[in-house]
Amino acid sequence: MNERLIINHNVMNQQVAQALIRLCPFSAFEWQDEQLAINTNCRLCGICVRKGPEGVITWCQDNEEAIDSSLDQAASGQWQGVAVLADTMEGYLHPVTFELIGKARQLAKQLDQPVYVMMAGYQLQQQIQQLKNVAPDRLHVYDDPIFRHFQTDTYTEAAAAFIQSVKPAAMLIGATQAGRMLAPAIAARFRTGLTADCTALEISQEGGLVQIRPAFGGNIMARILTRHNRPQLCTVRYKIFPAPVQEDDDTCQVVQEALPKVLADQQQRAKHVRSQVLSVSEKPKGIDLTEAEAIIAVGRGLRSRKDLDMVQQLADLLKAEMACTRPLIENGWFDPRRQIGLSGRTVSPDLLITIGVSGSVQFMAGMKGAKSIMTVNTDPEAPICGLAHHVFVGDLYDIIPSLISQIKNMQDITQGGPEICQIQRRPEALPLQKT
């Protein structure tokens, strides 16, 4: 049910309008061209209805189709199953697609419902085989030259046609460049909610999708539900969930979809597709922390920028990429593409070493997928120490030079470590591999 306010213009005059403007605490009323209007500041608090001039502002309730979120597939609700939007920008199947399929299978198993994958592109035979190997129940393919290059308008029409046909209860979208453009367009088309950059997904007792992400600067973890609209939409970053093992599987049903009518008709297409791709040039490959096997991340524990040379020596010895926390980006010490965290990159390297990092919620959400984590910190109670497998407690200006020296001498740093610090090994610690 949608609620909105209706203005009775038959009894409206400037005096009444000024009274409402003064009454509203959110400055939601505007007097323009001899008419009163409600702007986007309105919070539907109802003060203008209860305390304003009688009969001037009234409530209006629009009834919408009820959503049946029952777990029972035999229920009357049409919205069933978990769908994944495959990211095939410029023909490249982004690895986040496989991670989302793995999570969708886990969620759908709890609901005893199917997993769908929707993919649009051109000449997708290879991509079809790759997706069949991770075993969704059905793969819906829109294969046409119009999808050769990514365009928000064309891909939105394909996604809309898929949703209208299949009616999935939830749809997972990768938080890639394409996904971040498509997800809001799909949400607006179906007048449903959208949660961006989720760090976890669960199923509620009622069978709804619980979309979890940090809020209020990471001080709380918000649990968001879309109770009355479908599909339930969310975007998820790369490297948040593990990818399923790919196997030869013949159970996946591939459905070759026809081009949506709005795109098949030339006249309609001209109205709905507002841009045209004239040429495509490959962007030079830049910094990509998401694929790094070893990363050294530094934080505010470093006293000055010149101390980065010392850390770079360690990174060179380990063949690791340098990364940082947000304060060092704000200080201008690093390229923003080297930031780890919710406002930076999400990584899951084989080895992650943090130096002078306390461990904010935002930072740890971006690196908790690392297979082996070492941290150098003076405070053994710092949040990062609770996540690390190996903790070097001491001054980094003593520890790092000693580590560099021992690595140069090809000594195993996990067997005793530098004498100038205390090493804490967590019970669940993973053994570090000799580099």
Q: How far apart are CA 348 and CA 6, in angstroms?
A: 52
For the chain, domains (ranges, CATH) are 2-62 (3.30.70.20), 82-272 (3.40.50.620), 289-425 (3.40.50.1220)
Question: Residue 184 above 70 pLDDT?
Answer: yes
Question: Residue 272 above 60 pLDDT?
Answer: yes
Taking residues 336-343, report their average pLDDT.
88
What pLDDT sits at residue 311? Answer: 92
Question: Residue 24 above 70 pLDDT?
Answer: yes
pTM for the complete prediction?
0.72
Question: Residue 72 above 80 pLDDT?
Answer: no
What pLDDT sits at residue 249? Answer: 67
Average pLDDT of the chain is 84
Please tell me the least confidently modeled range out of 2-6, 27-31, 167-171, 192-196. 2-6
Q: Are strands 294-298 and 351-355 parallel, antiparallel or unpaired?
A: parallel
**DSSP 8-state symbol, 162:** H
Helix (H) or strand (E) holding 424: strand 422-425
Which pLDDT band, with edges at 50, 70 and 90, does 410 fall under? low
What pLDDT sits at residue 424? Answer: 56
What pLDDT sits at residue 328? Answer: 92
What pLDDT sits at residue 76? Answer: 40
- 26 and 44 in contact (C-beta within 8 Å)? no
Largest Cα–Cα separation, the chain: 88
Taking residues 211-238, report their average pLDDT.
88
Helix (H) or strand (E) holding 200: strand 200-203
